[in-house]
A and B are shown apart, each in its own frame.
Chain A
């Protein structure tokens, strides 16, 4: 092992971070599907020869933990001694890499000029389709992984720089929209090459031993920083639990149970007590569960610094064998992200006992993905519109929650502009607006969700969607109340109106209005302590209705001028405080 001076270390660190960023830009700019370039449902990373993550640029936080297991699985399956320059391998196997089958990792080894293995460049991207029973996957009712598409485990895509025909043929014949999916795959391969080139540049410039020493030191420093930050959290055992609506096929209220143990500079997240593996597709592989734990860990330690393998060395995850957070064959897991997001919020809830001033109330907790698909009557070709929706975030201990932001599993994920969407798809958006009264009341109010209403034009389409957490919506903290739940309403205010929480391939004929209504964030603190002036402004702005102002906050406004009726407000608040109308609600207790 060589050594590295602090200056060269810094130069190399910048080099790795820049290399990962370059891979990200490369992938994003050449991808074919909005799920990559708008939703940013991908991540890229560089790994050392042991498969440990040196640098990562994630489109989504949800991929924080699971590229490393992907690389290590490929190393174990293929054997590094058989690898050569120009190889690319694919893996999407849920039970090794945690996520649903649509997330396909392309990984290539990086070799020095003399044939020594330096490391790996990998990218994970959400494929528009992976051959599931329903277009696009994201099925809500599958009961076996075999219904969710093809599994790839350490499959060779390129050998020595040459495409493996068998693999391409297999993919081409087994996924829908194959041309555009393979376009995305090309972008992934190009990103791997970019990463490999930058890695080799660094090694050529600074020497193999120096780069190795720098990587070891980067890991050590990151670990030291994580330890320092965990040590600052009071020792203790903090428990919280939450419930999902269901598993999509009838199992009611799967439980998410979290014990966070902080001991000195170590943190353990223990999911003992969480629901066993369920029949429906909400199960989550261990590696993805690890991502969820890492998101929460990162958010409460050092949210802004780059990550590497060292960052999480003092984080331990305990998951029982039979647990929906530890999916085993043949458990379905098409919508694995749902319990992951609730896991994050539940970890935060547990930690709110330890560091109440650094934890917000819960957020809407589902990306409220919706897929509209059918055959475009203009072109006669099949189309698929995929969108992740923003919703309300929880109020902070010091201010209101933010409205319509993407959920915690996603990050720099963007909506699809209405103008682009209407050009591409036979759909018209007739409303995209904030959802009044969806923010949980509190001294600080939760953020608002939205209405996004689609009109189906001139053809019969189908809808797949998940809208989780209707029964236990974003909770408040310390007296704050929950936000409105997520839902889709078909034909709101019209005959045949119906509310949907989950569906796969639901027919939505021409003329149907599909209204995606995302939930709000939870409130923080007693709503009766909210500044009446802030409530008045919320009413003026239409964030809160006059009725809710009175009902939830005890603030009475003149219906004409919207000025505060001070007298009536005092009386109303006194009465509410007396009767405990606005007292904090106990979390619902439900059996498993």
Chain B
């Protein structure tokens, strides 16, 4: 890609309620955001509308990135295509048997995830490959043809193929795909080893089936969008945001739509890491608090933590995704009193309809938003001016809860906030402390409608050093989509004792994976971009199950010394994560992983005009009484308009900063500095 670095870029992120469109033009120094209602029945119409409304000249765009929920919604709403599954003879039920576990162990009526392929459409072919990739029984090709006939007869055109040990040797799966292409060319085939070269047959099957299930809809939708954009004059490749936090081409997304399943939320994580890097913070907690839930994720030493163990409604999906931990706590979370008399918050949410009591849309139950309003942290007109919040309704709702637990209204409101903060802090602990990371080494990047309101309290709770409220906290995921690179991942399961491993053959494996990935990237961007690779070896102590992902140092010859260093790093990471390690214990190599990044021109955010330490007078728009700590009572608190703040301005807490779609609450004991690019950097006093 030869696009100039200062060209215009646009991201379109479709959410359940709104479609966010962000346009960055560093040439003119503009950062533009447009929110349009999502049009679920014809998504492209809504997007096209937004582009027109934002007066985007598609022909002048250097890059357009799209975060899509079509794949996820197709899955969640169970509106995918009928799928047929081809398995190794004797194993068609692996997909239905699953892992036999009962997560809710006292539930006598526990249900497994409903298979997306009914048993009569799970067909077996005779073949067998062994754990070392050896062919034990050749593929009986007539079985494949018979399966194709069956699927054709039943009008099934989405086919998933998952054979045992295909991660070790995909030859039979590839042959099945080739035969299907020959005798049933209309079928859209998903092949497990093309999606994930890792062991665990149930999880790989589930991943492949979901891919097949959502592929027809995602493909059609992306084709429509591509054509529509071309009609508007867009001439560059359309990129689709991946769950792993990078982007891919439309063609790849059509073949492997399972990579889009966390497309949107991953954008927020990427953006948080991006903003962190810009500000010089390598370790970042992304804290995205919305109306119904809070998503948290971590970037450690500049890199997003990625997992391949995600589940959706108990269906495992084994492809790399940003490791996002969700908790049912948001602005709309309802406060209630359980039969034991305990005050609870969430996970039920008032959603946007009827919404919190203070919205005046018929909601009667007290929510976190109502509590914030009563405590003075949220201003009655602060939701973008479109709606005025009703304090009386909020008070009435919170009072009902307060009575049942014997507290006064303010104490109950403060309690609701404390409890929801506790839940969110446990979510953050789960992705930091439980993995051996100390929150005090992190900056908390707070976004989403409610994130900036709770960030200071969480920073205190978790002993986080620093809070950042970035620009565009209300459309932050879309911003992240512009900050990513083209990303593709490869994995090979190659179990072997580390001590006996042959460095040359490992190096060969890595190089082969890298070549494959580089070719994909070159093909996708239609030219040359610099490609960086990160290699990882996943190891464990011999006999353990869980692996630790160890980065392989770059730029060194792959030899015994390097392996010894990787081994030493493994001990260190194991100790860090789990509190013990043993350098004398034998270890095993399990998986080789490569992440390839096709580097796109760096996103530059426009700078904010500079000002002095004191904010301009125009920024101070109000003074309110606000409660931060119930015991301390209300404090006089100035309210600032964010759009009036200048780079270099400093505000001491307590203070409130309002902008369209978000409110930042600066607690006493914190002070805020506006960064060069407009991010609000919040530090605790005395640190």
Residue numbers of A with Cβ under 8 A of B are 5-7, 9-11, 13-15, 18, 22, 25-26, 28-34, 37-38, 40, 58, 60-61, 180, 183, 186-187, 190, 193-194, 221-222, 224-225, 228, 295, 298-300, 303-304, 348, 359-360, 389-390, 393, 396, 402-406, 410-415, 417-420, 422-423, 428, 430-434, 450, 453, 540-543
Contacts and interface: CB of A to CB of B under 8 A. Distances in A.
A174 to B, nearest CB: 20
Interface stretch (B250-258, B573-581, B610-618): B573-581
A295 B120 CA distance: 37
14 contacts: A10-B344, A10-B419, A11-B422, A58-B105, A222-B340, A224-B339, A299-B108, A390-B97, A390-B100, A406-B100, A411-B102, A419-B201, A432-B90, A434-B93
B406 A6 contact: yes
B153 interface: no
Nearest to B340: A221
A30 B580 contact: yes
The 6 closest A-B pairs by CB, nearest first: A411-B105, A390-B100, A7-B415, A221-B340, A303-B106, A431-B90
A6 B403 CA distance: 12
Interface in B160-174: 164-165, 167
Interface string B267-307: 00000000000000000000000000000000000000000
Contact of A418 (B104, B164, B418): B164
Contacts of B339: 224-225, 228
A361 to B, nearest CB: 10
A190 B434 CA distance: 13
B236 interface: no
A28 B143 CA distance: 41
A239 B546 CA distance: 46
A582 to B, nearest CB: 25
A417 B201 contact: yes
Contacts of A300: 108
B130 interface: yes
A579 B381 CA distance: 76
Contact of B200 (A37, A304, A417): A417
Contact of B93 (A228, A428, A433): A433
Given A414-B101, A417-B201, A402 B111 contact: yes
B628 to A, nearest CB: 15
B182 interface: no
Interface in B184-243: 199-203
B105 A60 contact: yes
A415 B94 CA distance: 11
Contacts of A410: 102, 105
Given A58-B105, A541-B118, A14 B434 contact: no
Interface string B95-118: 011111111111111111000001
B253 to A, nearest CB: 28
B178 interface: no
Interface string B563-601: 000000000001001111010010000000000000000
Interface in B322-341: 338-341
Nearest to A431: B90
Nearest to A540: B120
Given A194-B579, A419-B164, A10 B342 contact: yes
A414 B100 contact: yes
A585 B525 CA distance: 70
B660 interface: no
Question: Interface residues of B: mostly helix, strand, loop or mixed?
Answer: loop
Contacts of B555: none
Interface string B342-386: 111000000000000000000000000000000000000000000
Contact of A32 (B94, B99, B541): B541
A299 B107 contact: yes
Contacts of A412: 101-103, 105
A514 to B, nearest CB: 15
B145 interface: no
Given A389-B100, A540-B120, A10 B343 contact: yes
Contacts of B433: 22
Contact of A33 (B109, B119, B543): B543
Contacts of B103: 411-412
Contacts of B203: 417
A414 B340 contact: no
B90 A31 contact: no
Contacts of A433: 90-93
Nearest to A30: B578
Contacts of A224: 339-341
Nearest to B203: A417
Contacts of A411: 101-103, 105-106
Contacts of B315: none
Contacts of B100: 389-390, 404-406, 413-415
Nearest to B433: A22
Contacts of A32: 541, 543-544
A33 B423 CA distance: 32
Interface string B409-433: 0010011001100110010011001
Nearest to B427: A18
Given A11-B422, A304-B107, A415-B100, A221 B112 contact: no
B391 to A, nearest CB: 22
B3 to A, nearest CB: 44
B407 interface: yes
B341 A221 contact: yes
A11 B419 contact: yes
A186 B543 CA distance: 14
Interface in B417-473: 418-419, 422-423, 426, 429-430, 433-434
B97 A432 contact: yes
Given A299-B106, A412-B103, A412-B105, A29 B543 contact: no
Contacts of A222: 340
Given A29-B546, A32-B544, A411-B105, 5 more contacts: A6-B415, A33-B543, A61-B106, A183-B541, A190-B579
Contacts of B652: none
Nearest to A307: B106
Contact of B112 (A359, A405, A418): A405
B2 interface: no
B405 interface: yes
Contacts of B545: 31, 34, 37-38
A15 B92 CA distance: 44
Contacts of A304: 104, 106-107
Nearest to B585: A183
Contact of B342 (A9, A61, A405): A9
Residue among B92, B340, B405, B582 facing the most chain A CB atoms (10 A cut-off): B340
A303 B167 contact: no
B679 to A, nearest CB: 31
B503 interface: no
A190 B580 contact: yes
B638 interface: no
A265 B449 CA distance: 46
B206 to A, nearest CB: 12
B15 interface: no
B661 interface: no
A493 to B, nearest CB: 14
B578 A26 contact: yes
Residue among A6, A428, A432 facing the most chain B CB atoms (10 A cut-off): A6
Residue among A359, A410, A418 facing the most chain B CB atoms (10 A cut-off): A418
Nearest to A180: B543
B586 to A, nearest CB: 9
Contacts of B92: 433
Given A37-B546, A414-B101, A419 B200 contact: yes
B434 A25 contact: yes
A163 to B, nearest CB: 13
Contacts of B94: 418, 432
Contacts of A303: 104, 106-108
Contact of A348 (B90, B108, B120, B429): B108
A414 B99 contact: yes
